[in-house]
Structure 1
């Protein structure tokens, strides 16, 4: 039985419910990452004994499931997407925006499908515009492909943000600090393709990079869906 199927205990002194528990856990994670979330710390923030929480949540993994579903409520589109491409773009962009607000989400993306009510609503909003566009297996692969792209891109962006905080160096400052080493290595002539990339490549910000990559992936999916025999 999942945590969503299991009823909450009856009301006791010092009002408590899963909504308050999850809100406290999300606040802790926003402040200090998932490692800051323990049942003891959540209980302390709610000013209750830790054992009180076990009537509502059996394990920390269940708590993480509830936290993820809470954030899926932020990912859920405000309006029904007009077509499959918009639906997948909205999913990608709103997931990225949510992860930038709640960096810990990046650590929990890409695992088993989330099964909470908000997550299921997001999945429904994403799949509905794809109904009839292609056979079911092709639709599933399309969604998986786009999800794999934005999950990887989000994790990389969050990793860079964490590295900036850990080192105290912005991306540009880190590049300047690493410049002498990179220059020496490129001067050996062993890395001609990399040298061309470093000297002639155009640097773009994270948002532009994400949007460009997403467009390329969506273009590839569109080309696949347009092939004969894919239900169009």
Structure 2
């Protein structure tokens, strides 16, 4: 049996005081500053004034470190109180995940990966599934959670990609629209893109939060049609 990082005991903390909590906190700080590419056991060790070999006593691989970082942020996603109904449970999961990703943009790069089996990840899963308990058979409930998760994972990644592009180019969304506007106008004037022209001229521009919430409500409406109680 493979022992997970959560099951392995920590080595003695001498001569330099060290534990997984401090290691993960340092790694999260590095990732917040420079993304996942800024995280390495060497850099984490340097921040803690400990050699990288010391860290291998606590964490075997960088992937394990990422698992621990992910679980640390799951604590921010866990709701403080049980949800009132299934919609609130899934809406909480979506919005709280988005808020966590806006605080820790690197989270977007880990969403949709391996299941989170850390204590906080399990608590988030339990809180979410408890809100859907008894609404349908287990397989239907799982597909409902997966569908909502697929939506908010994609939406969050898209939003974070936009934010990163703004920083990289120095152009806000509206700056970019103004810069690309003349070419778009010329292309639409050719008449080759009538559907796109209708969207550009008649569509309503909304902020990221409104777009996220609207799309989430549509997905929840679709899920509602599938959540029928199992036969007695």
Q: Give TM-score scaled by structure 2 length.
A: 0.97
**Corresponding residue for residue 175 of structure 1:** 177
**SS of 2:82 mapped into structure 1:** coil
Q: Is the 8 A contact 1:132 1:231 kept in 2?
A: no
Q: Return the alpha-carbon distance in structure 1 between the equivalents of residues 13 and 108 of structure 2.
A: 34
User: 1:121 maps to what in 2?
Assistant: 123
1:187 corresponds to which residue? 189
Q: 1:185 to 1:48 in 2, by over 3 A?
A: same
CA–CA distance in structure 1, aligned partners of residues 16 and 231 of structure 2: 57
Pairwise CA RMSD:
1.1
Q: 2:26 aligns with which of 24, 27, 31?
A: 24
CA distance in 2, matches of 1:50, 1:111: 26
User: 1:8 touches 1:55 (CA, 8 Å); kept in 2?
Assistant: yes
Give the CA deviation at 1:231. Answer: 5.0
1:209 aligned residue (203, 208, 211): 211
Quote the offset at 1:230 in angstroms: 4.5
SS in 1 for 2:225: helix
SS of the residue 2:8 aligns to: coil
1:103 to 99, 102, 105: 105
Matches within 5 A, 1:27-176: 27-176=29-178
Cα offset, 1:11, TM superposition: 2.6
TM-score (norm 1): 0.97
Structure 1 gaps of 5+ residues are none
Q: Note the alpha carbon deviations across 1:170-219, whole angstroms, 9 max, x for none.
A: 00000000001111111111100000000000000000000000000001
Unaligned runs of 5+ in 2: none
Q: Distance in 2 between matches of 1:221 and 1:158?
A: 26
C-alpha separation in 1, matches of 2:166 and 2:151: 23
Q: 1:133 to 1:165 in 2, by over 3 A?
A: same
Aligned length: 230
- Which residue in 1 is equivalent to 2:11? 9
Name the SS of the counterpart of 2:88 in structure 1.
helix
